[in-house]
Structure formats: structure tokens, C-alpha cells
């Protein structure tokens, strides 16, 4: 059978499997690659070449960079800065949020910017008396528009840029997409601001997101944190060694408990040993005098409200689950347990236990404080259940956290390298990702988790399909069919046809997969019609980002569905108007910048 026909059959089967939606997109991509190899359309090297393609490397590295910006609180800082400077009116709030989402997306990707800003947007809407549904979907649409502000905004941009280079026209510049992105973002904001109230439902949030921006104060009030405590280490020289703990000596100092070297609470009446830690509370002057009298070393002072959440350390609330090794253990505030975390307070049987010791039972809750790295590790700890994810607490409540300066410097260097073209995009992105790990902005494990491996597999598996469609002549067949429909009346009709085909496919198939399928067809159609390849590829980029009509079109659309309280049919009303406006902008701007002939 003709390789072109086989390629078209594989293409049809791939699109059908995507629409069927019973297999993961990664599995479909791998099956596509295997089918092209099994039918002889591609050899083994060609079939597997997608996984080593520079596009895949660049996209994977961007996930690490965007995660570093998010994890260090850069996006939270940007969101809070906007919130602090914006009025409470719906329109002012919406414009500020959409502008921020668009700018963030240029370097963080649509999914990353929506994930980072969505909690803040929902909280701001509720605080100011607005329905979250009036802000959440415009946030996602602004992220789509922002993806066209820079090369790094979306994998689609990288795909069309590489296609332009492969056709001999040179890749698009890093900020060249902004020629379209800026007016598209402006149009999207205007439509959402003035038509949004009529086209969007006034629904309350279906699954409200927790507001963790004031987390420290909420925990301090819930656990009645007041006096605090001091940890005093007992050195071998201390006169207390071998004697009972002095109680109320002086009267202003209260001994809460003693922790032994092995981490357990010392039994009542036990004599003090070198290496013990005595936990006390009371006025600072009295505690310092107590420590000096008995030659004790002050290892920790009271943690105030402003110190609960800092760039270096955080606070976490945990619950003791059934069968935990903590059940039956005696604890008291000031103990260091569960790694190197300090117990700030304990709630036993639903009540705050105060400074006295408590024997833990299942269902008790503890408030722990310590370094973020240790706090994060509790998520996988079998002896406690974390109430609020430390990662989300840090992102909302600790703007510009630890290593944020390093993350911004690395980002700046990457943008300069991409903008100047000194090195290929894959090299710049990979270097930035490695720098984030080397500078300890993210750990190696964190970096691996940040990469959307589904996207990587999708790209690696479908790039061979794009190659097969182009090299087998299938693209020429489809292009000729497209031209028979459009005719040779005007190159504008070709742009309209390519926009509509790409946008329609992008509502049910990921925009990355859509671009890989449509790009070779669009290039062949442009060559056959004598139209410039660059304007056609830019049309694909715009249409690929115009995924507005369904919640399944993009992950960012799906993210806002629950918090915004949307139904499936709520998307198309605002989405269709926005898509048509994008088509008009594309038809006006693209021919002015990239000649059609």
C-alpha cells in the first residue's frame, strides 16, 4: 500500500483514539509510533527520533523552570502584588488578573500560570463579593493569549518555529510571537471585561479552593499559641546533671517537660542527664536568668506569629492516623519530633491540650514547625496525615521565598539567550533547568516530578507522525484536498480554512497534538498555493491557542471548571465570541507582518 495512504489511515486512527478518549494520550502516541514502524512507513531510527528531538528537550526543560518560579513564590508574589494594588471592582480586578496571567504564561506556560493564580483569583472574587465564575474562565483565556507573547509560552510555538526553520525560512524570534500576542491579549481582556457579565454564569464555586494566604494567623488562633517556649540544652558542665528538674525556680519560669537524647519525653521524676533538652516558658528575663544559673544553653526561643511562615521555615498541621507509631507516645510543646520539627501545640480529643504533656491517640492533631524541606517530607510520612499541603501553603503564603532571587536570575539569563539566539532553544532551556537544580532552587526529585511526562511522551510519539505525513506525500494529498475546497480565490481563504480546521481539532485534541498533525498539511498547502509559509504557520499557532469551546480542550480550561462552578456548556458562549475575534485579529495582523506572497 502507498505510504501516503498508510500515513492517512494512521492519522485517522490516531484522531479517532483521541476522540474516543478511552486510552491515555501517551498510549495513543506510542501506538502511533509503533504503527508507523510496523507498516514500514518509517524505519526504527525515524520512528524513535521524536524522543530525542530538540523540541521535546526544550519543552521538558521549561516545566522545570516554571516549577522553580512557582515553588519559590515568585508567582505568588506577583499575584499578591496585583491584589494589593487593584480595587475591589469586578472590571478592575479582572483586567489586572488577566494581564498578570498573560505575562506569567509567557515564561511559565498556560497550565502553570493558571495553577498558580487560580486560588488567589477565587479568594479575591469571594472577598470582594464577585462570583468566581466571572473571573476564572477569563483567567484561562488570558493564559491562552499570553502563550503567544514569547516562544516559551507554549509547545505549539516551538513546533511552528521549528517547522519554519526546517522549511528554510529561519525560526521565529523569541518575542516575534508578541506581534500577535499583544493584540490578542488586549482583545481577550476587552471581551471578558465588557461581555463577560452577559456570557458567563453568575455561579458560585463548585469546589472552593482553600485560602491559605493567612494560614499562619488561622493556625495560631486555632491552637491558642500565646506564650511560646524556650528549649534549653543541658551540657555536661551543668549543675543540673544528676538532679531532678527544678520546678518553678524561679516562680516565673515553668518547666513544660524534658526531652531525652533519643527524642522521648523523660519520665516524671527522672534525673537530668547531659544532652537532655529542658523546655520552659515564662518572661524572657526570667528564662535567661534560669539558664545562666544552671549553665544551660538556649537553643530555641519562642516562635512568634510572623516567624511561623518564613522563607526558610514553615508550619504544618498533621493528624495522627490509626496504627501510627505515634499512638501512645507522650509529647508536649517544645519537643523535637518527626524529623527535626518542633511541636508547637497539640490538640487532644478535639481540645487544645496547653503546655501539659499529652499521650497521643488516633485523631489527635499536632502543629509542627521547622525547615521547609522537612515539612515537605511529611506528605509521604506514614505516621501522620498532613491537613494542608505544605507546597500549597508555601506558594500562597510565602511570596518570594528561599532561592527566589536565584530563580529570577536564571530565568533572566534564559530569556536573554532565547531572545538573542546565541544558542539553540533546547540548549538554553536545558541549561536553565540544570542551573535551577545546581543552585538548589529545586531538588533533582522535584525537577523530575515537575516535568509533565505525558506531554513529553505525546510529543515524542507524534513527531514521527508529523514526519510521516510530510515525507510520505500524505500532506500533499490533504493540502490538495484543502485547496480544492478553498480554491485559488484568495490566500485569506486559505488562512481561514487552516484556522478553522486547527481550532476545531483543538477543542477535542490537545493543541500540541493538533499542531503536530496540522503543521505539515498547512506547509504543503501554502507551498501548493504559492502562499508564504510563515503566515500559515503563525495562523496555526494562533488557532492552536484558541481552545475556548470545551473544558477538555486544555488542562487550564479543566482547572477552572470546579472552582468556577462551570458546566460543560458554559464555555462556548464566551469562547466562541473570543475565537471569532482572534480570527479577525489574525487576518488583520498576520499579512501586515508576514507577507502572504
The answer to whether the CB of 191 falls within 8 A of the CB of 577 is yes
Give, for all 597 residues of the chain, the pLDDT tens digit: 788 899 889 988 988 887 787 888 789 889 999 999 999 999 999 999 988 888 888 878 888 887 888 778 776 777 667 767 776 678 888 999 999 899 888 877 787 678 767 777 877 787 778 888 899 999 999 999 999 999 888 889 989 999 998 887 788 988 899 999 999 999 999 999 999 989 998 866 555 556 666 666 677 676 666 667 788 899 999 988 888 877 666 777 888 788 888 878 887 778 889 989 888 878 888 888 888 888 899 887 776 655 677 767 788 899 999 989 889 888 888 888 766 788 888 888 877 766 667 889 999 999 888 888 888 888 888 889 998 888 777 766 766 777 888 998 998 898 888 878 788 888 988 999 999 999 988 889 888 988 878 878 888 888 898 888 878 888 778 777 877 777 666 788 889 999 998 998 888 677 888 888 889 988 988 888 888 899 999 999 999 999 898 776 777 887 787 778 888 788 899 999 999 999 999 999 999 999 887
* Count of Cβ atoms closer than 10 Å to residue 263 Cβ: 12
Residue found by looking up cell 483543538 in the block:
506
Q: Residue 208 corresponds to which cell in the numbers above?
A: 472552593
**Pairwise CA distance, residues 18 & 25, whole Å:** 7
Q: Residue 315 corresponds to which cell in the numbers above?
A: 508550619
The answer to whether the CB of 35 falls within 8 A of the CB of 1 is no
Q: Are strands 358-359 and 330-331 parallel, antiparallel or unpaired?
A: antiparallel
Superfamily, domain 309-387: Regulator of K+ conductance, C-terminal domain (3.30.70.1450)
What are the residue ranges of helices labelled H in 153-309? 155-166, 178-199, 215-222, 284-293
**Pairwise CA distance, residues 596 & 372, whole Å:** 55
**Pairwise CA distance, residues 279 & 256, whole Å:** 5
Task: From the options 1.20.1530, 3.30.70, 1.10.3470, 3.30.360, give the CATH code of 229-302.
Answer: 3.30.70
Distances (CA, A) of 273 to 117, 227, 260, 277, 278: 52, 27, 8, 9, 10
Q: Residue 131 corresponds to which cell in the numbers above?
A: 462570583
The answer to whether the CB of 165 falls within 8 A of the CB of 197 is no
Q: Residue 452 corresponds to which cell in the numbers above?
A: 509533565
Q: What is the DSSP letter of 152?
A: G
Q: Residue 382 corresponds to which cell in the numbers above?
A: 506514614
Q: Residue 438 corresponds to which cell in the numbers above?
A: 545546581
Q: Give me the pLDDT at residue 540, please.
A: 94
* Count of Cβ atoms closer than 10 Å to residue 210 Cβ: 15
Determine the Cα angle at 282 with ends 281 and 283, to 5°: 140
Q: Residue 462 corresponds to which cell in the numbers above?
A: 507524534
Reduced to 3 states (helix: H, G, I; strand: E, B; else coil), residue 454 is helix
**Pairwise CA distance, residues 529 & 169, whole Å:** 17
Reduced to 3 states (helix: H, G, I; strand: E, B; else coil), residue 346 is strand
| CA-atom Rg of the chain in angstroms | 29
The answer to whether the CB of 462 falls within 8 A of the CB of 517 is yes
**Pairwise CA distance, residues 25 & 455, whole Å:** 9
Reduced to 3 states (helix: H, G, I; strand: E, B; else coil), residue 487 is coil
The answer to whether the CB of 466 falls within 8 A of the CB of 522 is no
User: Which segments of the chain belong to CATH 3.30.70.1450?
Assistant: 309-387
**C-alpha closest to that of 199 among 208, 215, 188, 184:** 188
What is the pTM for the complete model shown? 0.69
What are the residue ranges of helices labelled H in 321-383? 372-377
What are the residue ranges of helices labelled H in 239-386? 284-293, 372-377
Amino acid at each position: 500500500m502507498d505510504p501516503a495512504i498508510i500515513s492517512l489511515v494512521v492519522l485517522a486512527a490516531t484522531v479517532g483514539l483521541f476522540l474516543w478518549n478511552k486510552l491515555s494520550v501517551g498510549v495513543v502516541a506510542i501506538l502511533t509510533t509503533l504503527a508507523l514502524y510496523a507498516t514500514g512507513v518509517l524505519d526504527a531510527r525515524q520512528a524513535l527520533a521524536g524522543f530525542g528531538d530538540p523540541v521535546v528537550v526544550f519543552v521538558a526543560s521549561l516545566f522545570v523552570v516554571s516549577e522553580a518560579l512557582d515553588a519559590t513564590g515568585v508567582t505568588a508574589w506577583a499575584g499578591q502584588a496585583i491584589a494589593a494594588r487593584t480595587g475591589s471592582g469586578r472590571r478592575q480586578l479582572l483586567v489586572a488578573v488577566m494581564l498578570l496571567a498573560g505575562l506569567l504564561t509567557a515564561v511559565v506556560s498556560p497550565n502553570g500560570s493558571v495553577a498558580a493564580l487560580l486560588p488567589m483569583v477565587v479568594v479575591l472574587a469571594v472577598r470582594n463579593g464577585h462570583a468566581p465564575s466571572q473571573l476564572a474562565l477569563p483567567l484561562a483565556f488570558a493564559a491562552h493569549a499570553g502563550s503567544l507573547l514569547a516562544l516559551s509560552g507554549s509547545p505549539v510555538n516551538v513546533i511552528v518555529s521549528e517547522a519554519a526553520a526546517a522549511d528554510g525560512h529561519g525560526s521565529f524570534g523569541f518575542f516575534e510571537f508578541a506581534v500577535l500576542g499583544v493584540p490578542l491579549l488586549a482583545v481577550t481582556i476587552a471581551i471578558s471585561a465588557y461581555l463577560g457579565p452577559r456570557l458567563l454564569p453568575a455561579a458560585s464555586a463548585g469546589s472552593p479552593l482553600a485560602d491559605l494566604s493567612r494560614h499562619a494567623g488561622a493556625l495560631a488562633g486555632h491552637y491558642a499559641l500565646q506564650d511560646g517556649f524556650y528549649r534549653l540544652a543541658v551540657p555536661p558542665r551543668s549543675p543540673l546533671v544528676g538532679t531532678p528538674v527544678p520546678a518553678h525556680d524561679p516562680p516565673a519560669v515553668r518547666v513544660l517537660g524534658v526531652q531525652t537524647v533519643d527524642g522521648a519525653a523523660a519520665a516524671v521524676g527522672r534525673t537530668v542527664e547531659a544532652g537532655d533538652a529542658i523546655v520552659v516558658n515564662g518572661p524572657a528575663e526570667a528564662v535567661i536568668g534560669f539558664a545562666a544559673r544552671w549553665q544551660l544553653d538556649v537553643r530555641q526561643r519562642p516562635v512568634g506569629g510572623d516567624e511561623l511562615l518564613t522563607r526558610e521555615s514553615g508550619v504544618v498541621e498533621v493528624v495522627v492516623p490509626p496504627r501510627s507509631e505515634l499512638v501512645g507516645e507522650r509529647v508536649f510543646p517544645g519537643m523535637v519530633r518527626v524529623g527535626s520539627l518542633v511541636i508547637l501545640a497539640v490538640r487532644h480529643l478535639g481540645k487544645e491540650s496547653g503546655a501539659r504533656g499529652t499521650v497521643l491517640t488516633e485523631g489527635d492533631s499536632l502543629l509542627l514547625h521547622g525547615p521547609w524541606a522537612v515539612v515537605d517530607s511529611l506528605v509521604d510520612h506514614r505516621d501522620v496525615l498532613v491537613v494542608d499541603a505544605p507546597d500549597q501553603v508555601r506558594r500562597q503564603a510565602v511570596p518570594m521565598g528561599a532561592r527566589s532571587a536565584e530563580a529570577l536570575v536564571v530565568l533572566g539569563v534564559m530569556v536573554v539567550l532565547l531572545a538573542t539566539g546565541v544558542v539553540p532553544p533546547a540548549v538554553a532551556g536545558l541549561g536553565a533547568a540544570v542551573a535551577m537544580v545546581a543552585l538548589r532552587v529545586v531538588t533533582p526529585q522535584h525537577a523530575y516530578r515537575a516535568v509533565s511526562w505525558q506531554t513529553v511522551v505525546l510529543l515524542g510519539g507524534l513527531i514521527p507522525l508529523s514526519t510521516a505525513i510530510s515525507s510520505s506525500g500524505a500532506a500533499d494529498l490533504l493540502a490538495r484536498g484543502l485547496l480544492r475546497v478553498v480554491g485559488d480565490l484568495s490566500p485569506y481563504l486559505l488562512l481561514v480554512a487552516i484556522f478553522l480546521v486547527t481550532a476545531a481539532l483543538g477543542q477535542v485534541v490537545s493543541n500540541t497534538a493538533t499542531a503536530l498533525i496540522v503543521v505539515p498539511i498547512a506547509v504543503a498547502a501554502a507551498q501548493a498555493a504559492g502562499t508564504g509559509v510563515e503566515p500559515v504557520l503563525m495562523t496555526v499557532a494562533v488557532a492552536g491557542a484558541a481552545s475556548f469551546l470545551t473544558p477538555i480542550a486544555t488542562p487550564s480550561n479543566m482547572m477552572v471548571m470546579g472552582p468556577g462552578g462551570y458546566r460543560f456548556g458554559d464555555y462556548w458562549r464566551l469562547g466562541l465570541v473570543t475565537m471569532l475575534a482572534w480570527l479577525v485579529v489574525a487576518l488583520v495582523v498576520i499579512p501586515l507582518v508576514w507577507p502572504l506572497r
